[in-house]
Structure 1
Amino acid sequence: MTLLTTAPYRSEGSLAWEGEAWTVKLDRLEVGSSRLDGSFRFDARPKVPLLEGKLGGARLALRDLGPALGAPPPHDAGDRARATAAPRPRAAGTRVLPQREFDIPSLAALNADVAVAIGELALGTKQLETLTDLRTRIVLKDSVLQLRDLSVATAAGRARGELEVDARAKLPRWSARLSWSDIRLERFVKARSPVGSKKGGRPLPVLSGDLEGRLRVKGSGRSTAQVLASLDGDLELWIGQGRVSHLVLEFAGIDVAQSLGVAIGGDRLLHMRCAVATFDIRDGVLQARHVLVDTSDSTVVAGGRVSLADERLDLIVTARPKDFSPLSLRAPIRVGGTFAQPRVGIEGTKLALRLGAAALLAAAAPIAALIALVDTGDPDIATCRKTLLRPPSEANGAASRPGDKVDHAPRADPASDPAIERRRRAEHRRRAAEAQRRSSDTVDRAPRADPSQDPALERGRERRLP
């Protein structure tokens, strides 16, 4: 019987032969920090053996599934020490995505139908809340593996979806559909503002609100890296009733004066009028379509790409102020580098022009140097709907304007976004109905001719008189 590749495990239970099949009852199954249990029935009589049963438990650590996903298995302290001097696999060097191929042939050696219900799924980081109430049904038949009715809860919300691996083709085909809703960001993301709030001094969440979104992708490959490098699809994220740390926004805009003011006076949460991010995924490259966070203080837009194929980042984030700031180095922030070695810095071209002017003024008087750093603010108030209906080159701001160094691929027309297209059509129907109503009102209100003023009618009336 073929099972998942895991780290060393320990189990306790019973094994019995009942009629024509084996039954296994696992009272305890320990794999790393995972604590599982289950009951199974294995029938070897069919041409392809069948495994049925239930898998449960209190805790499943995502790290313990690493070997099944192509990552090297966890080692004990002695193994780690010996591995230090040994040649390291490629995934541990310049690449971080697992390169080791899956055991695809084993999918043809077994059929299975297993119900899964696990108390919590640990993500392996303290920065995110643990997932709970993991439920799915694993169905493997004729080399097609499916995770049906996948569902997991976290931070008062829930994610749902399904996953399929079709190993019948020479190159296995993968597809996934996921959606999530009502996930409270202030609980799910543990990051807090480095300064206390103005009122109580407590660190505030960097983000709060209801996170919703969806992911639809297809790909092919024999390893995690190959599959991710081949993905096609789309990703959408949005935040309802959201708020964001004022300090984070000022840092995003490189606003020295306001950042210091917030740091000294205390942070506060700003209401986000709009927070949305949509990406097109082609050949393993996530291309930003619309990325926007709009508050009463600033509008933050972003553009660029994330390549899962090359494991490279090429993003630019720009904050547009809506207020006056006496000391601003406002310029796009570039996020570049690789997954293994990401780099964050200020986009040099635009900031260099501003700092160059400051240096020239400094030759005349130190105080005059501040003139070049004065930011008058942007009086325009961007709205979510207007931004989404703008061409991507405008919606993504400085990251997609001529002269920037980011080499963007052509972006999809907003009309290709189903949600935007539906809104456009609804607006078109509303305007057409309004025009029709006004036309009808105009016809109804048009003055009608007095019959007595019509000569033909008057002659006819005279002929009928005695």
Structure 2
Amino acid sequence: MPDVELMQKTLGELNGDADIRGTGNSVAALLGNSNGNLKLLMNDGLISRNLMEIVGLNVGNYIVGQIFGDDEVRVNCAAANLNIANGVARPQIFAFDTENALINVTGTASFASEQLDLTIDPESKGIRIITLRSPLYVRGTFKNPQAGVKPGPLIARGAVAAALATLVTPAAALLALISPSEGEANQCRTILTQMKQ
């Protein structure tokens, strides 16, 4: 999986709304029994191309990127609507739409046990030298996560978009986070409105 160096190139406008309640004497204890909701929306940002290639499993392009350098990829929209119950976060929607890929994240993150059980479904856009369309997984502890390719059949092109289209209510909830821009089209508004329909 990508290292911290790749994440240092990530930037964009981030809007959010949090309503989280919990009790405890530390942040870990508070989160471990927390309940509530967290909404995040990033619009018009940049992210490392190498990071996108790794997450999208575009092996050939990642290797070429390693040889010829890492460019940034424009993030059209990154959206997350997380429900938290008894310290376990479950995304109603957790998606990244970039010029290279549409990535949907499902599963759970337990703050109580500090365990991850996430599935990452990448759908590459455009032509790639080598593209594997299998979902990825991230499991294990927050401190030592284990990542890999899920066994089983490769996902079909469009499966991620079809799954996202069923998330009408979560997408509608995120529309309120879009802040007015200075006369420019907002990619998140377009994408979330399409999901809402």
| TM-score of the superposed pair, with normalisation by structure 2 | 0.73
Structure 1 partner of 2:79? 276
How far did residue 314 of structure 1 move? 0.7
Separation in 1 of the partners of 2:128 and 2:174?
39
How far did residue 320 of structure 1 move? 0.5
Specify which of 136, 141, 148 is matched with residue 333 of structure 1. Answer: 136
Separation in 2 of the partners of 1:320 and 1:415?
19
How far did residue 300 of structure 1 move? 1.2
CA spacing shift, 1:341–1:270, aligned 2, 3 Å: closer
Structure 2 partner of 1:414? 170
Specify which of 166, 171, 177 is matched with residue 391 of structure 1. Answer: 166
Structure 1 partner of 2:124? 321
Structure 1 partner of 2:149? 346
CA spacing shift, 1:321–1:224, aligned 2, 3 Å: closer
Alignment of 1:241-390 (within 5 A): 241-350=44-153, 387=164, 390=165
Separation in 1 of the partners of 2:68 and 2:97?
23
CA spacing shift, 1:294–1:256, aligned 2, 3 Å: same
CA spacing shift, 1:325–1:223, aligned 2, 3 Å: closer
Alignment of 1:48-87 (within 5 A): none
Separation in 2 of the partners of 1:324 and 1:248?
17
Separation in 2 of the partners of 1:274 and 1:418?
11
How far did residue 287 of structure 1 move? 0.5
CA spacing shift, 1:378–1:262, aligned 2, 3 Å: farther
Separation in 2 of the partners of 1:261 and 1:292?
26
Separation in 2 of the partners of 1:342 and 1:333?
13
CA spacing shift, 1:349–1:338, aligned 2, 3 Å: same
RMSD of aligned residue pairs (Cα, Å): 3.2
Q: What is the number of equivalent residue pairs in this alignment?
A: 174
Structure 2 partner of 1:238? 41
Q: Which amino acid aligns with 1:391?
A: T
Kept in 2: contact 1:231–1:281 (CA 8 A): yes
How far did residue 252 of structure 1 move? 0.5
Specify which of 25, 30, 34 is matched with residue 227 of structure 1. Answer: 30
Kept in 2: contact 1:255–1:330 (CA 8 A): no
Q: Which amino acid aligns with 1:192?
A: E
| TM-score of the superposed pair, with normalisation by structure 1 | 0.33
Kept in 1: contact 2:36–2:84 (CA 8 A): yes
How far did residue 223 of structure 1 move? 5.4
Instruction: Show CA shifts across 1:274-302 (max 9, x none).
Output: 11112011111111111111122211111
Separation in 1 of the partners of 2:15 and 2:171?
21
Separation in 2 of the partners of 1:336 and 1:208?
26
Structure 2 partner of 1:96? none
Separation in 2 of the partners of 1:309 and 1:346?
26
How far did residue 225 of structure 1 move? 4.4
Kept in 2: contact 1:391–1:414 (CA 8 A): no
Kept in 2: contact 1:206–1:248 (CA 8 A): no
Structure 2 partner of 1:400? none
Which residues of structure 1 form unaligned runs of 5+?
1-190, 194-203, 355-376, 396-412, 428-466
SS at structure 1 position matched to 2:133: coil
Structure of greater Rg: 1
Instruction: Show CA shifts across 1:289-339 (max 9, x none).
Output: 111111222111111110112221011112101122232233211111123
Separation in 2 of the partners of 1:415 and 1:332?
22
SS at structure 2 position matched to 1:417: helix
SS at structure 2 position matched to 1:350: coil
Separation in 2 of the partners of 1:205 and 1:308?
25
SS at structure 1 position matched to 2:153: helix
Separation in 1 of the partners of 2:27 and 2:72?
39
Instruction: Show CA shifts across 1:50-98 (max 9, x none).
Output: xxxxxxxxxxxxxxxxxxxxxxxxxxxxxxxxxxxxxxxxxxxxxxxxx
Kept in 1: contact 2:79–2:174 (CA 8 A): no
CA spacing shift, 1:331–1:226, aligned 2, 3 Å: same
Alignment of 1:114-133 (within 5 A): none
